[in-house]
């Protein structure tokens, strides 16, 4: 407690109480100093809840679009950036997508092959990940490959302090995800995040308590600075 003398938990609650939840394509008119400004969020296609923002005032549009994804993936559709851009006065973006990435299929195959080379030699695999963002796409990919190749002998582990919360959040927010996830649930009542092969661990003690054998561990943080 001595490390946190500037702010209290009440201050945190106050800050969160000021948040205004919005849905995609919902026009939100600001008040006060922002009177006359309308803000609209569009799906960024990169992470669950991620947004491209359009700020409109009078005849001017400013589009803020960083960290977006054009591709349709397992749990998300591609970005709705084209819906946000209609000759804006200013576009703020990044150059990350200009780096280029390999096709999703070959990228996934290369990753799975590298994992299997390690575990088939009784090795373990550590994959640093963010605790609740892109990890969802990776989990669905690995679950799919584990089922296809019958890899139940190799333990698949999500190791973060919020592992349970991450999966529960994903299970309860299917309406924010891509049409493939929603269609599967509507047709078969199958929730893509009711995982079959994944084991959740919230501490290294829980990880060490698992049965012996090769493991593929997804652990936070992606930077390996902590966790």
**Tokens representing residue 158 in the block:** 């999500």
Residues 188 and 181: beta-carbon distance below 8 Å: no
3-state helix, strand, coil in the chain (%, to 5): 35, 20, 45
Per the document, the length of the chain is 227
Instruction: Dump pLDDT digits (tens) for 3-27.
Output: 667 888 899 899 999 998 999 889 9
Mean pLDDT of the chain: 86
Strands laid side by side in the 125-128 sheet: 125-128, 215-219, 155-159, 198-201
Q: Which residues contact 41 (CB under 8 A, 6 or more apart)?
A: 22, 23, 24, 25, 26, 51, 52, 53
Most confident of 66-70, 126-130, 131-135, 188-192: 126-130
Q: Using CA of residue 31, residue 37, residue 38, residue 41, what is the dihedral sign? A: negative
Q: Which residues contact 167 (CB under 8 A, 6 or more apart)?
A: 158, 193, 195, 198, 200
Q: What is the pLDDT of residue 102?
A: 64
Name the phi and psi angles at 200, rounded to 5. Answer: -95, 130
Tell me which DSSP letter residue 54 carries. E
Residues 134 and 201: beta-carbon distance below 8 Å: no
Q: What is the pLDDT of residue 210?
A: 95
Q: Which residue from 66, 97, 70, 72 is spatially nearest to 82, judged by alpha carbons?
A: 70
Full-model pTM: 0.77
Question: Does residue 123 carry a pLDDT above 90?
Answer: yes
Instruction: Dump pLDDT digits (tens) for 133-189.
Output: 888 889 989 999 999 999 999 999 999 988 999 889 888 888 778 777 777 766 777
Q: What is the pLDDT of residue 97?
A: 63
């Amino acid at each position: 407690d001595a490390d946190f003398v500037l702010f209290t938990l009440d201050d945190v609650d106050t800050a969160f109480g000021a948040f205004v939840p919005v849905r995609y394509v919902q026009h939100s008119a600001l008040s006060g100093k922002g009177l006359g400004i309308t803000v609209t969020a569009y799906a960024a296609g990169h992470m669950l809840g991620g947004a491209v923002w359009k700020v409109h005032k009078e005849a001017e549009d400013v589009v803020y679009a960083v960290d977006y994804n054009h591709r349709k993936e397992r749990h998300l559709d591609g970005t709705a950036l084209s819906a946000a851009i209609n000759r804006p006065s200013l576009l703020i973006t990044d150059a990350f997508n200009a780096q280029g990435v390999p096709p999703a299929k070959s990228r996934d195959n290369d990753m799975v092959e590298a994992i299997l080379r390690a575990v088939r030699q009784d090795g373990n695999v550590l994959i640093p990940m963010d605790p609740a963002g892109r990890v969802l796409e990776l989990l669905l990919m690995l679950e799919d490959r584990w089922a296809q190749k019958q890899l139940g002998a190799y333990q698949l582990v999500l190791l973060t302090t919020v592992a349970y919360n991450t999966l529960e959040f994903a299970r309860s927010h299917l309406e924010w995800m891509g049409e493939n996830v929603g269609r599967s649930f509507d047709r078969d009542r199958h929730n893509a995040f009711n995982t079959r092969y994944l084991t959740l661990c919230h501490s290294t003690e829980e990880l060490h308590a698992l049965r012996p054998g090769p493991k593929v561990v997804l652990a936070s943080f992606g930077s390996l600075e902590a966790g």
